Amino acid sequence: MFYLFAALLGGICGAAFCFWAMWKFALQVAKNKERRITMFSSYFYTLDRWLILCRKGKALGDWLATKKNVKTVAIYGMGVMGRQFAAELTEGPVTIAYAIDQAVANNMYPFPVYSMKESLPPADLVVVTPTYAYQAIAAQLTSRTDNPIVSAEDLVKEWYDDAEKG
């Protein structure tokens, strides 16, 4: 009788633990899904505005140089958006001073790539490309540099709005 009771209790506890573990996993998946939806939505609208401006013959580097008096830019995050910013600014009046990225050892760019642990040189502007995490990244950068910091999303929106006005 004791063995039957112990087996039954063990089965119930095991099932309860499995249910709890699966519940925690499902919550984590849902949280990651929300973050990814936010990230892709931000990227979609930013790149949509950017493409509209490119079709109109507008160049981000020219706008930064003339309207913002920016000569050097640092790019935080060399993922999809960061690579697009680097490609856009490679030939033009604005120079990429450096990038800030976790994959420092994987440098395949014609400019230096620093980690957040390194000393960051001056630049006229730091563009944060992971816009979904802009607040947290900007807070970290503020303690590491005196350079002005802007999200890629806000920068492209301002460029778009400025082009629509004039």
Domain at 93, CATH number:
3.40.50
Give the pLDDT confidence score for residue 1 in this predicted structure: 64
What's the pLDDT band for 144 if we cut at 50, 70, 90? confident
Q: Taking the C-alpha atoms of 82, 88, 90 and 91 in order, what is their torsion angle to the nearest 10 degrees?
A: 180
More confident call, 25 vs 60? 60
Tell which phi-psi region holds residue 95, choosing left (phi > 0), alpha (psi between -120 and 50) or beta. Answer: beta
Q: Is residue 80 part of a domain?
A: yes
Rounded mean pLDDT of 86-104? Answer: 90
143 vs 163: CA distance, rounded Å? 33
Give the model confidence (pLDDT) of 36-88 as tens digits. Answer: 788 788 888 888 999 999 999 999 999 999 999 999 999 999 988 999 999 99
Determine the Cα–Cα distance for residues 152 and 158; give it in Å rounded to an integer: 10
Predicted confidence at residue 43, as pLDDT, reads: 85
Is the pLDDT confidence value at 24 over 80? no
Whether 31 is covered by a domain: the verdict is no
How many domains are contained in the chain? 1
Residue spans of beta strands (DSSP E) within 48-141: 72-76, 95-100, 113-114, 125-128
- The residue range of the domain holding 144 is 52-165
Spatial separation of the C-alpha atoms in residues 104 and 121, rounded to whole Å? 15
Residue 95 inside a domain? The answer is yes
Q: Is residue 77 part of a domain?
A: yes
Q: What is the mean pLDDT of the chain?
A: 84
* Nearest in space to 128 (alpha carbons), one of 93, 152, 145: 152
Name 113's bridge partners. Answer: 99
Is residue 117 in a domain?
yes
Average pLDDT over residues 6-16: 57
Residue 91 confidence class, pLDDT cut points 50, 70, 90: confident
* Position 97 in a domain: yes
61 versus 19: which is more confidently predicted?
61
Question: From CA 130, how far away is CA 82, in angstroms rounded?
Answer: 8
In a domain, 138, yes or no: yes
Q: Could you tell me if residue 12 is inside a domain?
A: no
Rounded to whole angstroms, what are the CA distances from 118 to 31, 101, 102, 113, 142?
A: 31, 11, 11, 10, 14
The pLDDT > 90 percentage for the chain reads: 51
pLDDT 10s digits, 118-137: 889 999 999 999 988 899 99
